[in-house]
Amino acid sequence: GERSNADQVSEKGARTVYQITPATRAGIQRLYGIDPWSSPQAAAEGAALVLRDSFKRTGSWDRAVTEYHGGLDPKGWGPRTRAYTPRVMGKL
């Protein structure tokens, strides 16, 4: 998301500056009653809730950011996901 703009749609259908995928959108709607695609404020709140929940589960901001980009299963984390976390966490 750090290199995205508000109108960008990824190859996986992710939208908003936070690049929220359709599956993540559905989860945010189900869990919190927020449509993160409805406004910039809702997108920010949805992204924050996803990161918060991941941090609570893992105890690690690095892991939370990695899960935000690549999903919960590390088997699905390719080079793009592995490069994402150090870049956005300022650890390059």
pLDDT in tens, 19-35: 899 999 999 999 999 99
Q: In whole angstroms, what is the distance from residue 30 CA to residue 92 CA?
A: 36
Q: In whole angstroms, what is the distance from residue 51 CA to residue 85 CA?
A: 13
Binned at pLDDT 50, 70 and 90, residue 40 comes out as very high
User: What is the pTM (predicted TM-score) of this model?
Assistant: 0.85
Is the separation of the CB atoms in 42 and 34 below 8 Å? yes
Quote the pLDDT of residue 4.
Answer: 56
Q: In whole angstroms, what is the distance from residue 84 CA to residue 15 CA?
A: 17
Tokens coding 41:
């404020």
CA 16, chain centre distance (Å): 10
